[in-house]
Amino acid sequence: MNKTLITFIGNPSSGKSTLLKDLSEHFKNKVEILSASGSLRAEVARGTTLGNEINSYIQSGIYTPLSLSGPVFKNAIEKADSGVLFLDHFIPTFLADTYEGKPDGLIAILATPETSLSRSAKRGRDDDALILKRLAVWDEQTLPEIAFCQARVPTLVIRVDTTTTTEEVKNQAIAFLSNTFKL
């Protein structure tokens, strides 16, 4: 595969989506952003048998197993036009199992629980118990992915608290991507 795959992961309300939007503006015409959830929603919208199965997981609020989501992710990556892909929450171990030597890099944004709760409340999501449960599931399932990448590929971990600005996060990511991948 001749594409550079850089995956972005972040716990709930960490600012990952904002960062990806900012980076797409900064690196316009150089990268393409693919979203794991967007790829799954597109499959659901197609009304396929696979999409219907995926939808049952989405509706129940749990992660879709890779046995279902993997083919959707692979198809999205292979159809992408750009040579550099920013992958929004594509599982690094899936990428490694699917494409030799992949992913090429990882940016992980880790918000403190207090930050996630505060940001979620500002968005009208005030069920603290549910948010804390989502954070625990995220930690259990995703923190090992960060460790996997740290041992294998260039990795930037950005820790976010209530005082961290989006500009600070964006500048760290731009410096990492520019220096590591010559974007």
Q: What is the mean pLDDT of each run of 10 residues along the chain (183 residues)?
A: 94 91 94 94 96 91 88 96 95 94 96 89 78 87 94 95 92 97 94
Angle (deg, nearest 10), helices 36-45 and 66-79: 100
**Confidence at residue 86, expressed as pLDDT on a 0 to 100 scale:** 97
**Confidence at residue 126, expressed as pLDDT on a 0 to 100 scale:** 64
Domain range for 176 is 4-35+83-181
Residue 144 backbone phi and psi in degrees, to 5: -60, -30
DSSP 15: S
Contact (Cβ atoms closer than 8 angstroms) between residue 108 and residue 158 = yes
Question: In this structure, is residue 71 part of a structural domain?
Answer: no
CATH number, residue 13: 3.40.50.300
Contact (Cβ atoms closer than 8 angstroms) between residue 103 and residue 151 = no
Report the number of distinct structural domains present in the chain: 1
Question: In this structure, is residue 67 part of a structural domain?
Answer: no
**Confidence at residue 60, expressed as pLDDT on a 0 to 100 scale:** 79
Residues 70-90 pLDDT 10s = 999 999 999 999 999 999 999
